[in-house]
A and B are shown apart, each in its own frame.
Chain A
Amino acid sequence: MLKKLCDASGVSGNEGNIRDIIIDAVKPHCDSISIDKLGNVIAFKKAHSKKRSAKKIMAAAHMDEVGFMVKSINKDGFLSILPAGGIDRRVVLSKRVKVGKDEMPGIISYKPPHAQSDGYKNIPKWKEIFVDIGAKDKKDAEKYVSVGDYISFDTEFVKKRNLLRGKAFDDRFGCYSLIEILKKKLSNDIYAVFTVQEEVGLRGASAAGSAIQPDYCIVLEGTSAGDFPQERDIGDSPKMGEGVVLTISDRTAFSDKELRKQTEDIAMRLKIKYQYKQPMIGGTDAGVIHLQGSGAKSIVMAVASRYIHSPVSFADYRDLKGMVKLAYNLINEIK
């Protein structure tokens, strides 16, 4: 399931493939499922016991990943691209991609060093970066592609013992976790929401959040690991393999203090390793969900992944299992 989710393409605005996989997987386990006008999947599952919290609990993970869109086709049949979501343009050169509905193979191309006499050290601008699908010219390319088509990285998911390698860990890990949770018996009702367009401005979550107006909001994420080599001793958390990452605060939300305490207590009781993310970095769907209606208590959990928003990432499977367990138990224990 994890491989299926990570290998499928679902660039922001084009989450159909992911939606289909998720609906297939959760259909037998939910009481109702709908796709709203933006494309969010809203799955509702009732608690198996009568004793349940009167509060509305929403758990969210986003289906979309960063990628590109075809901006124009030039006369030689090369595709000009625009990024969908935050991508460092220094990481995209010479990578394999899948183009359009038929997922045609393509290559991200940039003029070779021999032709860079005017500026080897310049960072290529988006307008200098093209996707090559092997077309002869514009007319030929137009047979296969049109302006507005989506492009995603073409990376295969691999699991070796506990080391995971692949793309779109942000946030197929969250989707995977929610699916796993929905498969189990729950002691509270839950709205499990698989959102669209997180990477381009938390769009799906804004709409779904305003429709549901939850009291509690749990967001499951893949987040950027901080354990890269660095000279200065200024912070290296969260680390891959060091447990579930809890957010104290990021640019979009402060996790609710009591809810965070409750989560930590559960983690300690069940011996689930956890760690903190450095504050005030990044943002998630929680940012908009917790401000809907009269407000929600929110918490963000994540798996630390190295090199997110790039064609390939690393993560530790044990962290992911930990997140599923921790989120599952938190959902059950909200009063």
Chain B
Amino acid sequence: MKNTIKEITAITGPSSAEEGVVKYIKKALKGSKHLEVRTDTLGNLIVRKPGKGRKIMLAAHMDEIGFIVKHIDKDGFVRFSVVGGIYPHNIVNNRVVFTNGAEGVIGIEEKDYHYKKILPASKMFIDIGASSKEEAEKIVSMGDLAVVKHSFSQMGNRIASKAMDDRIGCAMLLELAKDNFKTDNDIYYVFTVQEEVGVRGAKTSAFSIEPDLGIAVDVTATGDTPNCNIMDVHLGKGPTIKVKDSGIIVRRQVIDYMKSIAVKNKIPYQMEILEGGATDAYAIHMTKSGILSGVVSIPTRYIHSKSEIIDMDDVNNGIKLLKAILKDDLKKRGF
């Protein structure tokens, strides 16, 4: 599992350029005869484990936040826009990697810069080592996408990397998909696109699948660092069952159900209220006449930075919790 996480977080896959992640997951699922694999119009990867029972959709998004080229200046510096929720203070002097493999460093306009003041991304640029416009244009063009460069640190049971949001969810779904456990449920593992720019892939895939239960598997913030915001979520104390975020107030029925599964299987869990932020569940539960949806999240520190930290215990317990739900007879539970 750790190795999967290392490999899958290393892939460059900003919103709208998730192909690398698709390729990786497809390859990993090669030989899994129990699955049907397809991609849809927007690029979502839909992996189905067919069954006669209730339809469950699990969603994890493949895309990560990043940068897009909007201009190359006469000296070969690249001006960019951000794709998704980039915090300007997290990216100054970061290394970045483009989808074509080219690398660069984010610089900042010094004249307006003071270390006490955070400038917007519009005052930054990417230095790709070119010394003229002509030279730079050979390396990147308008519309090319980039992400922060991957580095992977293991600190005991905890690991840090870019793009844990939400490759950790992808890795969990991948693990579950490979496992041909016994169940009657009709399971859709959906690896979605463009979550970071407005939960877009989940919207169209939920429409075509129209599940009886939707579960987004994503990261959530924690409240366990020095002098932090009020939040009762701790790294290592279990995956969370979401109560609410900006996009969804999870229906009581779903919360109670998830809790009961965790209790029955003795899986540690935490209740999560996230201020700010939403997941694919937002799009799923708004679909058509409404789809009962919930979220299982992995507590993650420093979300939307190059160093998102998770705890492996939470990941393993998250997989356990999801598997128990997938194996359960959902018809009996009123879904």
Establish whether residues B82 and A294, one from each chain, have CB atoms under 8 Å apart when the complex forms.
no
Establish whether residues A278 and B42, one from each chain, have CB atoms under 8 Å apart when the complex forms.
no
Establish whether residues A296 and B41, one from each chain, have CB atoms under 8 Å apart when the complex forms.
yes
Q: Is A148 an interface position by the 8 A CB rule?
A: no
Q: Is B142 an interface position by the 8 A CB rule?
A: yes
Mark each residue of chain B from 27 to 66: 1 if its CB lies under 8 Å from any CB of chain A, else 0.
Answer: 0000000000000111000000000000000000000000
Q: Is B83 an interface position by the 8 A CB rule?
A: yes
| Complex alpha-carbon distance, A257 and B74, angstroms | 27
Which residues, 226 to 248 on A, are CB-close (under 8 Å) to B? Answer: 233-237, 248
CB distance from A85 to the nearest CB of B (A): 21
| Complex alpha-carbon distance, A283 and B81, angstroms | 15
| Complex alpha-carbon distance, A252 and B203, angstroms | 14
Residue picked from A252, A280, A293, most chain B C-beta under 10 Å = A280
* Residues on A with beta carbons closer than 8 Å to the beta carbon of B207: 293-295
Establish whether residues B83 and A280, one from each chain, have CB atoms under 8 Å apart when the complex forms.
yes
Establish whether residues A279 and B42, one from each chain, have CB atoms under 8 Å apart when the complex forms.
no
Q: Using a Cβ–Cβ cut-off of 8 Å, how many residues does chain B contribute to the interface with A?
A: 27
Q: Indicate which residue in A233, A237, A296 contacts B142 across the interface (CB closer than 8 Å).
A: A237
Mark each residue of chain B from 95 to 110: 1 if its CB lies under 8 Å from any CB of chain A, else 0.
Answer: 0000000000000000
Mark each residue of chain A from 241 to 281: 1 if its CB lies under 8 Å from any CB of chain B, else 0.
Answer: 00000001100101001000000000000000000101111
Establish whether residues B71 and A237, one from each chain, have CB atoms under 8 Å apart when the complex forms.
yes
Establish whether residues A297 and B16, one from each chain, have CB atoms under 8 Å apart when the complex forms.
no
Establish whether residues A278 and B70, one from each chain, have CB atoms under 8 Å apart when the complex forms.
yes
Q: Which residue of A lies closest to B16 (CB)?
A: A254
Establish whether residues A295 and B41, one from each chain, have CB atoms under 8 Å apart when the complex forms.
yes
CB distance from B143 to the nearest CB of A (A): 4
* Residues on B with beta carbons closer than 8 Å to the beta carbon of A333: none
Q: Indicate which residue in A233, A235, A290 contacts B70 across the interface (CB closer than 8 Å).
A: A235
Establish whether residues B15 and A254, one from each chain, have CB atoms under 8 Å apart when the complex forms.
yes
Q: Is A212 an interface position by the 8 A CB rule?
A: no
Establish whether residues B81 and A215, one from each chain, have CB atoms under 8 Å apart when the complex forms.
no
Q: Is B225 an interface position by the 8 A CB rule?
A: no
Establish whether residues A295 and B40, one from each chain, have CB atoms under 8 Å apart when the complex forms.
yes
Mark each residue of chain A from 191 to 226: 1 if its CB lies under 8 Å from any CB of chain B, else 0.
Answer: 000000000000000000000000100000000000
Q: Is B297 an interface position by the 8 A CB rule?
A: no
| Complex alpha-carbon distance, A254 and B198, angstroms | 11
* Residues on B with beta carbons closer than 8 Å to the beta carbon of A295: 40-42, 204, 207-208
* Residues on A with beta carbons closer than 8 Å to the beta carbon of B142: 237, 248, 276, 278-279
Mark each residue of chain A from 117 to 146: 1 if its CB lies under 8 Å from any CB of chain B, else 0.
Answer: 000000000000000000000000000000
Q: Indicate which residue in A235, A248, A291 contacts B79 across the interface (CB closer than 8 Å).
A: A235
Establish whether residues A291 and B143, one from each chain, have CB atoms under 8 Å apart when the complex forms.
no
* Residues on B with beta carbons closer than 8 Å to the beta carbon of A235: 70-71, 79
Q: Is B185 an interface position by the 8 A CB rule?
A: no
Main SS class of interface, B: mixed
Q: Is B232 an interface position by the 8 A CB rule?
A: no
Q: Is B136 an interface position by the 8 A CB rule?
A: no
Q: Which residue of B lies closest to A290 (CB)?
A: B42
* Residues on B with beta carbons closer than 8 Å to the beta carbon of A236: 71
| Complex alpha-carbon distance, A279 and B145, angstroms | 10
CB distance from B165 to the nearest CB of A (A): 19
Q: Is B73 an interface position by the 8 A CB rule?
A: yes
CB distance from B126 to the nearest CB of A (A): 12
With A234-B79, A254-B194, A291-B204 as contacts: A279 and B41 at CB distance below 8 Å:
no
CB distance from A145 to the nearest CB of B (A): 39
| Complex alpha-carbon distance, A297 and B193, angstroms | 14
* Residues on B with beta carbons closer than 8 Å to the beta carbon of A297: 41
CB distance from A125 to the nearest CB of B (A): 25
CB distance from A306 to the nearest CB of B (A): 18
| Complex alpha-carbon distance, A297 and B42, angstroms | 7
Q: Indicate which residue in B70, B73, B122, B203 contacts A279 across the interface (CB closer than 8 Å).
A: B70
* Residues on B with beta carbons closer than 8 Å to the beta carbon of A248: 68, 142-143
Q: Is B200 an interface position by the 8 A CB rule?
A: yes
| Complex alpha-carbon distance, A296 and B81, angstroms | 25
With A279-B143, A281-B81 as contacts: A233 and B73 at CB distance below 8 Å:
yes
* Residues on A with beta carbons closer than 8 Å to the beta carbon of B203: 291
Q: Indicate which residue in A252, A254, A279 contacts B81 across the interface (CB closer than 8 Å).
A: A279
Establish whether residues B71 and A278, one from each chain, have CB atoms under 8 Å apart when the complex forms.
yes
CB distance from B64 to the nearest CB of A (A): 15
| Complex alpha-carbon distance, A50 and B40, angstroms | 28
Q: Indicate which residue in A249, A291, A293, A296 contacts B68 across the interface (CB closer than 8 Å).
A: A249
Establish whether residues B41 and A294, one from each chain, have CB atoms under 8 Å apart when the complex forms.
yes
With A233-B73, A291-B204, A295-B204 as contacts: A215 and B41 at CB distance below 8 Å:
yes
Mark each residue of chain B from 182 to 210: 1 if its CB lies under 8 Å from any CB of chain A, else 0.
Answer: 00000000000010011010011101100
Q: Indicate which residue in A233, A278, A290 contacts B74 across the interface (CB closer than 8 Å).
A: A233
| Complex alpha-carbon distance, A61 and B69, angstroms | 27
Establish whether residues B204 and A279, one from each chain, have CB atoms under 8 Å apart when the complex forms.
no
Q: Indicate which residue in B40, B68, B73, B74 contacts A280 across the interface (CB closer than 8 Å).
A: B68
Establish whether residues B82 and A280, one from each chain, have CB atoms under 8 Å apart when the complex forms.
yes
CB distance from A207 to the nearest CB of B (A): 15
Establish whether residues A234 and B73, one from each chain, have CB atoms under 8 Å apart when the complex forms.
yes
Listed in ascending order, the chain A residues whose CB lies under 8 Å from chain B are 215, 233-237, 248-249, 252, 254, 257, 276, 278-281, 290-291, 293-297
Listed in ascending order, the chain B residues whose CB lies under 8 Å from chain A are 15-16, 40-42, 68-71, 73-74, 79, 81-83, 122, 142-143, 194, 197-198, 200, 203-205, 207-208
Q: Which 5 A-B pairs have the closest CB atoms?
A: A235-B71, A295-B204, A248-B143, A280-B81, A295-B41
Additional A-B contact list (8), CB under 8 Å, known A237-B142, A279-B68? A234-B73, A235-B70, A237-B71, A249-B143, A257-B16, A276-B143, A293-B204, A295-B40
29 contacts between A and B (CB under 8 A): A233-B74, A234-B73, A235-B71, A235-B79, A237-B71, A249-B68, A249-B143, A254-B15, A254-B16, A254-B194, A278-B70, A278-B81, A278-B142, A279-B69, A279-B70, A279-B142, A280-B68, A280-B70, A281-B81, A290-B42, A291-B200, A291-B203, A293-B208, A294-B40, A294-B41, A294-B204, A294-B205, A294-B208, A295-B40
